[in-house]
Each structure stands twice: as structure tokens, then as C-alpha cells.
Amino acid sequence: MVDEAEHGHVDHLAGGRSGRRGRRRVEAIYYWFLVPTVVLFTLAITVPAVLGIFYSFTNFIGFGEWEFIGLTNYVAVFSDPAILSSYLFTFGFAIVTVVLVNVIAFLLAVGLTSRVRLKSGLRAVFVIPMVISGIVIAYVFNFLFSNSLPAFGSAVGIPWLSESLLANPDLAWLAIVVVATWQSVPATLLIYIAGLLSIPGEVYEAADIDGAEPLRRLWSVTLPLVAGYVVINVILGFKNYLNVYDVIVGLTNGGPGTATRSIAMTIFTGFTGGDYAYQMANATLFFIIAVLISILQLRLTRGKAAIA
């Protein structure tokens, strides 16, 4: 019994020493590489965010003196029709655009990964919008919607197309969706191409042996295997569209009236218009909503992403 106890003690000590040897000591140089990033992130993002949340409980206008007013700004935000309208527009725009972008990008990715000629050149053509500034794209489309398209509408006798879509409060949002979709498809396309190319060829060979038709193979084989990529594109796209700003500035500047004013535009306009604390309360609520949406999306899609 004593020998067994001694052997057990020796094994325990040996295991402890091997465990300690297994833990690699982190060299100090790695922390020095990490410190600049942490400092810059803290000074550029964390500190301004904390100060902004603090000022949202005051009547600060961006300069001068201020005093605490509690939850007054937050209560006012919920009863402000202009802010509520910006939320409705932004979420509606985000939902419509994310659906269009993913459908178009996925279909293009399927075509560009099939046996078609010049697919490498076509891929290069389709990603061109990625290298162009969003504000430049918006101004180019502004000219098209304000001049070229009305001229075409007049020539073919289409009354609603003979006037600028950007001046129509009921149709201006469609123009923004078109431009945002055109700009966003390339990045989403590249992710889908990566997903489709990662599918083993043996899977399609087995589907062919089973007699699966192209549409059946697309629905039952391809889509389930790229479900994880769909999740990534939907989450990233939705977050980006909630922050839409430059496209709207270049196209409508929030008009006609406030029909296409997004949440981001409402916040930035308030910062320069003397409503700093009020719009910081709006920004804080928007941040909380975005975090809750992110958590919900991850919970709803976690299983599908894991399967993919």
C-alpha cells in the first residue's frame, strides 16, 4: 500500500511538472505588439463612446456648459416622429436590400462557378463596384436617376419614369435600394464563390448518380452546404445597411423632405445642429438595438452555421 501511494505521489508530481512544462510562457514582446492596438482602440472608440453615453443624460449641445437632465432625452426620442420615421425607413431598407443582395449574389456565384467561358474575366467585372467609393457611386447614380432615366421614360412614354425617382417621396427609397444593392453584391458574391468552391466534387457526382436535376441539386445539395456562408452574408449585410449613410447623402440627402433619412443621418445631422446630447441618446438606443439584433441573429443561426 505504501509503495502504491509513493508511486501515485511520484506520478502526480511528474504530471504536475509535465503540465507546467506544457504551458508555454508568453514572451513579453507579444504584449508590446498588443499594447498599441489596445491603446488606440480605447482612445478612438471606447473613451468617446463612454463620454457620449454620459452626455446623453445631459443637455449638452456640443460646447459650453451643461447640466444633468436624467432620462429626458430618452423619453423624448420615443415620442419624436422624425426619429421613429428614420427607424422605420432604415429597417425596411435593410431588410429589402439584404434579401436582394443575397439572392442576386448567390445566383451570380452559382453561374460563375459553373462551366461557363470567360468566368475569370466575368468575376473581375462583377467586383469592380468594390473598388469605387460609395459616395462617388451615389453621385453617378444621382445623375442617372435625375437625367438619363427621366429622358428614357419620356421617350418610351412611361409617365412615372419621366420624372426623377429621387424627387418622389414614395419611390426614392427604391433608388437607394438599387444603388446599395449594386454596390454590395461584389463582396457578397466573393464569399459565396468561396463557399461554392469549398464543396467537394464527389458530392455533386453522387447527386448526378442519384439522378438529381439541376434545380433539385441546387436546393437539396448546394444550399445546405453553403448555409454557413448565407448566415455570414446576412449578418454582415444587415449590420452594414443599418448604418447606411454615404449612399443616401449622394442620392437624396435624406429627401424628399425626410422620406429617406436614415438613423445614421439623423444622428449626424443632430450633432451639427445643436442636438448633441439628444442624438447621443438616440445613438445609444440604436447601439443597444443593434447589439440585441446581433445576439438574436447568432442564436437563431448558430445551429445552421455549425451544420454548414
pLDDT > 90 in the chain, percent: 33
Cβ count within 10 A of residue 291: 10
Instruction: Identify the weakest region by mean pLDDT among 36-45, 156-165, 176-185, 249-258.
Output: 156-165
What is the sign of the dihedral through the CA atoms of 267, 268, 269 and 272? Answer: positive
Q: Is the pLDDT of residue 223 over 70?
A: yes
Q: Are 70 and 57 in contact (CB under 8 A)?
A: yes
pLDDT digits (tens, 9 = 90+) for 177-194: 999 999 999 899 999 988
pTM summary value: 0.81
pLDDT digits (tens, 9 = 90+) for 103-148: 999 998 888 887 766 666 676 777 777 778 888 888 999 999 989 8
Q: Is the pLDDT of residue 8 over 70?
A: no
Q: Are 186 and 129 in contact (CB under 8 A)?
A: yes
pLDDT digits (tens, 9 = 90+) for 140-166: 999 999 898 888 888 888 888 888 889
State residue 207's pLDDT score: 77
pLDDT digits (tens, 9 = 90+) for 83-95: 999 999 999 999 9
Of 14-23, 77-86, 211-220, where does the model show the most confidence? 77-86
State residue 305's pLDDT score: 47
State residue 286's pLDDT score: 93
Mean pLDDT of the chain: 83
